[in-house]
Chains A and B, each alone.
Chain A
């Protein structure tokens, strides 16, 4: 079953605009919510992550908003730049069970046009 639903699958934003990507999950046992950024020909790289005890985390132009009751979280990219053009994946991970089991969203291909 699809444990995390990500939308939209593609997004075009003008330079300087705000890019917003949303994810929804079903299992309340998740407690680690990372976002990864992937450029063509490269592996995904951790961008920013949040735990459910906070509602927002900001790092530079990137912000995660987390709504525990709605089981949703989103990535906001402020002042989007052409260099931000990449595929973004949200992910969920269960409470520590002594192992890695990260489930990824389907990905959002972001294009920032000048």
Chain B
């Protein structure tokens, strides 16, 4: 069974640009969550999607947005990029249905802002 796939693996952007990251969950998983990982802040929850609906959102500005498609694939968008957005962005999928479901992570997209 294929794992969670994130593309691209690496991305370099400049301030003010926007970026779209993609996540393909494990087949059959309906919940997709996104996290930002930085050395100083650890893993911080961005948002979670289930059946194309955002169920939960973390404390990030509106520049961070996402969506989920009918096949459960998800995209995350960051507009007006800032230097502080440099991070590893991780996607995790789970079967869905509640907060006690084990999450399966992809290997992330490393975003660098110049």
Contacts and interface: CB of A to CB of B under 8 A. Distances in A.
Given A41-B107, A43-B107, A104 B43 contact: yes
Contact of A44 (B48, B97, B99, B105): B105
B67 interface: no
A99 B100 CA distance: 9
B33 interface: yes
A99 B42 contact: no
B61 interface: no
B99 A99 contact: yes
A101 B98 contact: no
B99 A45 contact: no
A97 B99 contact: yes
Contact of B56 (A36, A49, A51, A101): A101
Nearest to B50: A99
B34 to A, nearest CB: 11
A55 B26 CA distance: 32
Interface string B27-58: 00001010100000011110010100001100
> Chain A contact residues: over half helix, strand or loop, or mixed?
loop
Q: How large is the interface on B (under 10, 10 to 19, 20 to 34, 35 or more residues)?
A: 20 to 34
B4 A43 contact: yes
Interface residues of A, number: 28
Contacts of B56: 99-101
Nearest to B41: A106
Contacts of A60: none
A99 B56 CA distance: 7
Interface stretch (A68-76, A77-85, A88-96): A88-96
Interface in A13-63: 31-32, 34, 36, 41-46, 49, 51
11 contacts: A31-B100, A34-B103, A42-B107, A43-B4, A95-B99, A96-B98, A99-B98, A100-B48, A101-B48, A101-B56, A107-B43
Interface of A: 31-32, 34, 36, 41-46, 49, 51, 89, 93-107
Can you list the 3 inter-chain pairs with the closest CB atoms, starting with the nearest? A43-B105, A96-B98, A99-B55
